[in-house]
Structure 1
Amino acid sequence: MRKPTSRPEFVIHEQPPAVVVVDGQQSREISPLWLRERTQAPDQLEPMTQQRLFDSHAIDANLTLTQATQVDEQHVALAFSDGHRETYDLRVLAEELGESELFPAAEPWDASLDQNKVRFDWTQVLDDPDVFRESLDAYLRYGYLVLYKVPTDPERILQVGSHYGYVKETNFGRYFEVYSRPSGNDLAYRSVALGPHTDNPYRNPVPGIQLLHCLVNETSGGLSTLVDSLKVLERLRQETPEGYELLKHTPVRFRFVDAGTQLVTQRTMIQTDDDGRPTGVHYSPRLDGLPLLSDAETRLFHRARQRLGELFADPTYEVRFALGAGELMLFDNSRVLHGRTSYDSNEGQRHLQGCYLDTDGPRERFASLLKQHASIEEVA
């Protein structure tokens, strides 16, 4: 469960008018433009969607506060130079400032991760909102889940996918079958080993989440492997900071070709957020190509991606397990690399179904459950 986070405090100055936010040891004055845009007035916001009924981009850039009066502990009356007057609820402003804390932070992991933290009974997830919320919390922290007691009837994967987000259709269909067949248009459809990789790096956008549901597994091989790229990237950055930066900033070509499809795109191997922090990788040695750089940079780039591959295959970072019938893996396709050991198709049948989801589904579900929980507590 999420731990409650402390809300920022506000200090109101009447002369000159100002609203100051204090968060820990830091304090800063809030711009009048920021406050004016976050109006809570019912004639300025549509009640259900909370969308503005005015064009905030047209606010005068020279806007000032002309009055700031503390009404009580939770409210402040503000007046602006454009004539707008309003009493603001400081709790609403605090929620705006603390919005990034709504979701649990990613926690990098290695092979020592306790698997009980990411394993959930599907029947309980489906029936109990609290268990569903716990599973979403675990996914957002660790980047993957394993669900068990999932019925093995055809297309059950679509029900699970729709529970966690929005199923994304690709050239493989709404879902795809994974079993050994010589004519398959991907190596996943053979019985060979698959090294750690991310799916569809040649697609734009890349599928955000992948599900793999085991219907039958009668083989002793075919073990599933998972690796957290966030943990590996910490090590790579320590060992070769220059190589890390090259992988972070240099786009490479990823290409997929079969009898009726060709998909090509350029993107960096290390994926980052807007602040430059790593959020995952685009990694598939079967599908990428070295970028055209100077000879020295090409060698540095190659050594960095070579080391990245070695770390992904290192047992220190790899979780390995047999995915049995009725079990389903759900993982962040960019953060958590997946793979498979080889298996002998003569031993018996091994049949999985897979599908993709858009990235934002679990976060939307998590936020909705928190909102519902807060409403129930408010009523109580």
Structure 2
Amino acid sequence: MKEIEVIFEQAPPAVKVRANGETTELPALWLRERSQDPAQLDRQTQQRLFDSHAIDPEIALLALEPVGALQARLAFSDGHSSLYDFSFLHAELDADDAFPAAQGWDSALDQAAMRFSWPDMQIPERFLTALDSYLRYGFVVLTQVPTAPLSILDVAAKFGYLKETNFGRYFEVFSKPDANDLAYTGVHLGPHTDNPYRDPVPGIQLLHCLVNQTSGGLSTLVDSVSVVRELAATDPEGYRLLKDTSVKYRFIDRGTELVSHKPIIKTDAQGRTLGVHYSPRLDGLPLLPLEQLKAFHRARQRLGELFCDPAYQIRFPLLAGELMLFDNSRVLHGRTRFDPSEGPRHLQGCYIDLDGPRERYASVRIQLSTLKEVA
């Protein structure tokens, strides 16, 4: 929301907002909760000092006195009166404005622009650029990461907070006997998201290459935002089914069983695609009436075809000292087949919570803004 005009009316008292060609009156209840009076709102934490849930739902705005273009003194029927600065409306009415918006991409994406040097992540400006790219496109690739075991944990701590699972704080990815997951073999892995059987699903995955002496095993990435947009345009009913129908995901290991139920397509309150829960090895068709089941399956089938379409997929070798960090719901990952007899291919992986990069982005912006003001 780029332009917001605040309109003060005194008879009867009202505060209105004009944005994107539409005018909206702000309800007295909504305004009363947002009192900025020092006795009502702690200036340091911006947390309320009163119980807003106890406000009378029939509260009314009794008087309004404009003080400036964006300021007015408001008086309410509960006896409260205070000065309001309505510059807060930009952030209030457009909660995501402080963060880069997601941008869909396909195979034409400039991969070089998504690569960043790990040593440069100690420079706030470069770190902010990498975070910006991650928030827009859902992934980045870091180069020059030390190949010493567990270096991945240093990267994880830089970008967010480690999430431990039944695989541990981190996990090894290499071909091994008696594997409890196909990731630990040399077979081709189609585009998928990790751990859809978990609740919550791990937000962000990191994969760090320690050694790679194979000619195969190319890493693949696909943006679900672009793919889902295509599905919604060509099969709206199938899109709706995948968005609204709960699916069972199940994982079984020695002594462990994890099950969750969730739709394949994940959206936010505004209907924007956040990602998918997609793993053909772990999901099960829901029990639906036959014709609806066929429509669901056709939509799921088409979604899988789009995920594997070279037009949407990027491929690259993940070499020793390189690490890819990606939104585990938004960006599907996979791997081409490789021959373990050619030589070792050893990756380490871990998960961090989804909100880490957003927190870091906000913190670095504040840090750089403070440094600029001091300068």
Bin for the TM-score computed over the shorter chain: over 0.9
Instruction: Identify the residue that residue 360 of structure 2 maps to in structure 1.
Output: 365
Q: 1:377 offset after TM fit, Å? A: 4.3
- Aligned partner of 1:196 among 191, 194, 203: 191
Query: For the Cα contact (< 8 Å) 2:124–2:368, is it kept in 1?
Result: no
Instruction: Identify the residue that residue 118 of structure 1 maps to in structure 2.
Output: 114
Instruction: Identify the residue that residue 142 of structure 2 maps to in structure 1.
Output: 147
Instruction: Identify the residue that residue 314 of structure 1 maps to in structure 2.
Output: 309
Q: 1:80 offset after TM fit, Å? A: 1.3
Question: Alpha carbons of 1:137 and 1:345: their partners in 2 closer, same or farther (altered >3 Å)?
Answer: same
1:102 is paired with a residue whose SS is coil
2:17 is paired with a residue whose SS is strand
- Aligned partner of 2:338 among 327, 343, 347: 343
Moved more, 59-68 or 94-103: 94-103
2 CA distance for matches of 1:245 and 1:205?
A: 23
- Aligned partner of 2:158 among 158, 163, 168: 163
For 2:259, give the aligned amino acid: V
Question: Alpha carbons of 1:22 and 1:376: their partners in 2 closer, same or farther (altered >3 Å)?
Answer: farther
Question: Alpha carbons of 1:25 and 1:271: their partners in 2 closer, same or farther (altered >3 Å)?
Answer: same
| TM-score normalised by length of structure 2 | 0.96
1:203-260 Cα deviation digits (max 9, x unpaired): 1111111000111111111000000111111221222222221111111111111112
Instruction: Identify the residue that residue 171 of structure 2 maps to in structure 1.
Output: 176
1:321-341 Cα deviation digits (max 9, x unpaired): 000111111111111100000
Question: Alpha carbons of 1:91 and 1:372: their partners in 2 closer, same or farther (altered >3 Å)?
Answer: farther
Q: How does 1:48-59 map to 2 (within 5 A)?
A: 48-59=44-55
* 1:225 correspondence with 2:220: yes
2 CA distance for matches of 1:193 and 1:113?
A: 23
For 1:12, give the aligned amino acid: F
2 CA distance for matches of 1:169 and 1:371?
A: 29
Question: Alpha carbons of 1:235 and 1:98: their partners in 2 closer, same or farther (altered >3 Å)?
Answer: closer
- Aligned partner of 1:83 among 72, 75, 79: 79
Instruction: Identify the residue that residue 137 of structure 1 maps to in structure 2.
Output: 132
For 2:230, give the aligned amino acid: R
Query: For the Cα contact (< 8 Å) 1:7–1:98, is it kept in 2?
Result: no
Question: Alpha carbons of 1:10 and 1:36: their partners in 2 closer, same or farther (altered >3 Å)?
Answer: same
Q: 1:90 offset after TM fit, Å? A: 2.1
1:22-80 Cα deviation digits (max 9, x unpaired): 22322211112111111112211233322111100111111122221221234221111
2 CA distance for matches of 1:311 and 1:94?
A: 38
1 CA distance for matches of 2:372 and 2:5?
A: 23
2 CA distance for matches of 1:44 and 1:375?
A: 27
Instruction: Identify the residue that residue 277 of structure 1 maps to in structure 2.
Output: 272
2:340 is paired with a residue whose SS is coil
How many residue pairs match? The answer is: 375
Query: For the Cα contact (< 8 Å) 1:252–1:269, is it kept in 2?
Result: yes
Instruction: Identify the residue that residue 322 of structure 2 maps to in structure 1.
Output: 327
* 1:60 correspondence with 2:56: yes
1 CA distance for matches of 2:101 and 2:89?
A: 22
| TM-score normalised by length of structure 1 | 0.95
Question: Alpha carbons of 1:374 and 1:97: their partners in 2 closer, same or farther (altered >3 Å)?
Answer: farther
Instruction: Identify the residue that residue 34 of structure 1 maps to in structure 2.
Output: 30
Instruction: Identify the residue that residue 239 of structure 1 maps to in structure 2.
Output: 234
Q: 1:378 offset after TM fit, Å? A: 4.5
2 CA distance for matches of 1:118 and 1:266?
A: 33
1 CA distance for matches of 2:259 and 2:62?
A: 56
Moved more, 182-191 or 95-104: 95-104
2 CA distance for matches of 1:71 and 1:242?
A: 52
Moved more, 235-244 or 265-274: 235-244
For 2:244, give the aligned amino acid: H
Gaps of 5+ in 2: none
Moved more, 331-340 or 228-237: 228-237
2 CA distance for matches of 1:377 and 1:55?
A: 38
For 1:109, give the aligned amino acid: W
Instruction: Identify the residue that residue 245 of structure 2 maps to in structure 1.
Output: 250
Query: For the Cα contact (< 8 Å) 1:226–1:319, is it kept in 2?
Result: yes
2 CA distance for matches of 1:98 and 1:341?
A: 41
For 1:340, give the aligned amino acid: R
For 2:190, give the aligned amino acid: G
Measured on the aligned residues, the alpha-carbon RMSD in Å equals: 1.5
2:40 is paired with a residue whose SS is coil
For 2:302, give the aligned amino acid: R
Q: 1:153 offset after TM fit, Å? A: 1.1
Query: For the Cα contact (< 8 Å) 1:193–1:340, is it kept in 2?
Result: yes
* 1:109 correspondence with 2:105: yes
Instruction: Identify the residue that residue 10 of structure 2 maps to in structure 1.
Output: 14
Moved more, 113-122 or 323-332: 113-122
Q: 1:7 offset after TM fit, Å? A: 4.6
For 1:281, give the aligned amino acid: V
Gaps of 5+ in 1: none
